Amino acid sequence: MNPEQTTEENDHHIRELKQKINILSELENHSTDKVNKLQESNKNLKEKLQQKSLSLKETVQEKIFLDEMSKNEISKIQAIRKKYYLTIAVAGIVLAGVIVPYSLYVVTLVGEEYRVQDVELVTSGYVIQNLKGDTIDTWLSWRLVEGDIMHVNIVDGHKFPEKAEIIKNAILSTETIEIDNSLLHKGPKGTTSVYYLGWAGALEKSSETPTSFFIPTKFDVTESASGAGDITIRLSTDRSGDAYSGWTKSIADETQNQILKSEIIIYDVDNLTDNQLTTIMRHEFGHALGLAHSSDPEDLMAPTVTTEFPYISECDVDAIVGLYDGAKKSEVICEK
């Protein structure tokens, strides 16, 4: 073999070896990079797994903690609820023990405070005369134009200022009260009826029902020495020869069944108590409006007032409605 040829071949092998070495070196570097990257990635994965694991443990612990708190709160709520219901039950028992006797006590006393002790016997008389002066017996009502004011005159009221105020209140008051029906033998204990302290309130109630004729609800109460007015009220210090406490005389047009004028006299006024005067005034003013006496001995419009509750009743209100709606009777019929 030629030495030169041999040298060339050796050089060629050497170059190939160098190339292989370079390639292997590059491959090694590349592999090293990959290994490093894989190791770094593996490290990151481990860290993430550790974080996930730690977070999961915290979540589990937190859930366990929340479950425990929830159980404790539920237990507390149930305990509070039991106490609440127990308190309500006890309170109900206590209140029932207090309220029931109290309710019975109150029902027994409804209206009891309005009992009048010094009415004694209040006797009344009334007469109706036609324009000729003849006494007549018929049903009558006022025939005022709707909206008219009824004029009431307390003759020489200035001579009895305190008495005049009592009279005005008996006419103008709109106050109502409730009275247990058992106190007037009109129903069982615990049921009540409404009563009126003045005719203005009673007539306002009556006017809520439509009627053929206008029911007066507005009054102009004055004091003068003359007899002017639709209704005049005279206070007398004399005693009635017939032992009347009050007397009402109405002048009527019997052809129209209407009242033209009414005069009320209250006797022995100096010796009347305030309650007696109020009772007489309420009764006589009922006559002046057209009412006759009542069939109920315990009603305000009874011929002799003996009731301890001398107030204007629902029965009187109904009688006004019937009278001003054309009923051909003026007697107060009490069905209750």
Query: Residue 5 above 70 pLDDT?
Result: no
Please give the DSSP secondary-structure letter assigned to residue 332: B
CA 202, CA 217: separation in Å to the nearest integer? Answer: 9
Write down the mean pLDDT value for the chain.
Answer: 85
Query: Residue 321 above 90 pLDDT?
Result: yes
**For the whole model, what pTM was predicted?**
0.69
Answer whether 223's CB lies under 8 Å from 144's CB: no
294: nearest Cα among 285, 305, 278: 305
**Overall average pLDDT of the 298-313 stretch:** 93
Token pair of 319, please?
Answer: 């009688």
CA 5, CA 7: separation in Å to the nearest integer? Answer: 5
Q: Exposed/middle/buried for 18, CB within 10 Å: 0-12, 13-18, 19+?
A: exposed
Please give the DSSP secondary-structure letter assigned to residue 301: T
Answer whether 138's CB lies under 8 Å from 128's CB: yes
Alpha helix segments (H runs only) across the chain: 3-109, 161-172, 199-206, 274-289, 314-323
User: Can you give the residue ranges of every domain in the chain?
Assistant: 1-86, 113-323
Distances (CA, A) of 262 to 92, 141, 208: 60, 11, 25
**Topology (CATH level 3) of domain 113-323:** Collagenase (Catalytic Domain) (3.40.390)
pLDDT digits (tens, 9 = 90+) for 23-72: 777 777 777 777 777 777 777 777 777 777 777 677 667 667 666 776 76
pLDDT digits (tens, 9 = 90+) for 200-232: 999 999 999 999 999 999 999 999 888 899 999
Three-class secondary structure of residue 68 per DSSP: helix
pLDDT of residue 180: 94
Q: CA angle, corner 188, sides to 187 and 190, nearest 5?
A: 115
pLDDT band at 13 (very low <50, low <70, confident <90, very high): confident
Sequential DSSP letters for 147-212: TPPEEEEEETGGGSHHHHHHHHHHHH---EEEEEGGGGTSS-TT-EEEEESSHHHHHHHHTTS--S
pLDDT of residue 105: 45
